[in-house]
């Protein structure tokens, strides 16, 4: 059931809000019905109370499980008759980490961009018949497709065409451009966290490791290291200040995978982590795909700068979009 408390009762009298989007996730427009999250940004206690009031459970119909991760499962569902993805975050051994993952997912809740999976609604509450002891929260998102980029890269028998590699790369770069403009760092960019729609549009997903940089500085320290070890920037491993450039490093590894269709590293995790920091270990750029065309050579140059050990050398997301637009 929806919360019996009106949204207006949860907010200060002087709090500005577009009530139409909050009071019902289903919004009627001239072109039809669309599901959307409030366009305003919410923080602190107000955010917590507001998010707990926007899921209409009677309109949510779970269809099938389509994925799982460290902190929960994702289901293909129907919400107000429209196909959506529902992520149910559950408590694992580390309850604090589970809660942090849920709230980190909502760092992107206010973002509206074609290359970022859109959040529709979220709550930390659930009806009694659906609630379980390990339940942390539920997030309803747009259904962006049943395939991710990892499946596309390693599931095809033939090499991905260069123009498609460039298109996918630019989609991801555009997502990072928008994300970084809001001072949000994804931290866990990798092919498995990029969904590909039926129309071939890449959408960045899974913000469970993300964080928002403080307004006073464009860098911060992470208490716990997030992300996948093969895609972690050296400064993450060394516990140094983290900036948006950690995503650029991960983007470089992801581009390399797009072109080579190989895993970045072979060997034990501990050795790889040590070698990345101590010996500047990176995947090889001597493959034929980087030499056979001008586009491949341009990719080689861009990738080498993206995963530079010195974060200041790495291009910004703005520059990535510009340079990728010039390739081919």
Q: For the domain 7-142, what is the CATH superfamily, name and number? A: Phosphorylase Kinase; domain 1 (3.30.200.20)
Residue spans of the chain under pLDDT 50? 1-34, 36-39, 42, 45-53, 223
Active site residues: 188
Residue 19: per-residue pLDDT: 30
Contact 252, 307 (CB under 8 A): yes
The beta-carbon contacts of 314-318 under 8 Å, at least 24 apart in sequence, are 314/245, 314/248, 314/249, 314/252, 315/248, 316/180, 316/244, 316/245, 316/248, 317/173, 317/176, 317/177, 317/179, 317/180, 317/244, 317/247, 317/248, 318/177
Quote the pLDDT of residue 221.
Answer: 56
Which pLDDT score, from 0 to 100, does residue 9 have?
33
Can you give the pLDDT at residue 234? 95
Task: List 90's β-bridge partners, or say none.
Answer: 135
For residue 45, say whether it is annotated as part of any ligand binding site. no
Radius of gyration of the chain (CA): 20
pLDDT computed for residue 177 by the predictor: 98
| Cβ atoms within 10 Å, residue 60 | 19
pLDDT of amino acid 219: 58
Q: Please give the pLDDT value at position 228.
A: 86
Q: How is domain 147-326 classified at the CATH fold level? A: Transferase(Phosphotransferase); domain 1 (1.10.510)
Angle at 84 between CA 83 and CA 86, to 5 degrees: 145
The full set of domain ranges for the chain reads 7-142, 147-326
pLDDT for position 7: 36
pLDDT of residue 8: 36
Q: Is 202 helix (H, G, I), strand (E, B) or coil?
A: strand
């Amino acid at each position: 059931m929806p919360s019996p408390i009106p949204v207006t009762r949860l907010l200060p009298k002087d709090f500005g809000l577009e009530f139409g989007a909050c009071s019902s996730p289903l919004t009627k427009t001239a072109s039809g019905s669309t599901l959307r999250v409030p366009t305003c940004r919410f923080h602190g206690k107000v955010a917590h109370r507001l998010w707990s009031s926007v899921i209409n459970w009677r309109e949510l119909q779970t269809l099938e499980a389509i994925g799982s991760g460290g902190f929960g499962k994702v289901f293909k569902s129907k919400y107000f008759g429209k196909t959506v993805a529902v992520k149910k975050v559950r408590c694992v051994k580390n309850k604090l980490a589970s809660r942090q993952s849920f709230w980190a997912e909502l760092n992107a809740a206010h973002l509206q961009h074609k290359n970022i999976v859109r959040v529709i609604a979220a709550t930390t509450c659930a009806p009694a018949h659906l609630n379980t002891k390990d339940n942390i929260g539920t997030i309803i998102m747009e259904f962006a497709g049943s395939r991710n980029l990892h499946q596309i890269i390693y599931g095809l028998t033939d090499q991905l065409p260069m123009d498609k590699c460039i298109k996918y790369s630019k989609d991801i770069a555009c997502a990072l451009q928008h994300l970084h403009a809001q001072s949000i760092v994804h931290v866990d960019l990798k092919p498995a966290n990029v969904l590909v729609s039926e129309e071939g549009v890449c959408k960045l997903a899974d913000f469970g490791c993300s964080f928002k940089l403080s307004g006073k500085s464009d860098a911060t320290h992470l208490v716990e290291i997030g992300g996948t070890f093969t895609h972690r920037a050296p400064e993450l491993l060394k516990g140094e200040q983290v900036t948006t450039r950690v995503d650029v490093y991960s983007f470089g590894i992801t581009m390399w995978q797009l072109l080579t269709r190989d895993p970045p590293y072979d060997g034990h995790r501990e050795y790889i982590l040590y070698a990345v920091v101590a010996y500047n270990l990176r995947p090889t750029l001597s493959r034929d795909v980087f030499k056979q065309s001008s586009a491949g050579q341009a990719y080689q140059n861009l990738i080498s700068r993206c995963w530079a050990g010195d974060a200041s050398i790495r291009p910004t997301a703005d520059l990535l979009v510009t340079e990728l637009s010039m390739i081919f």
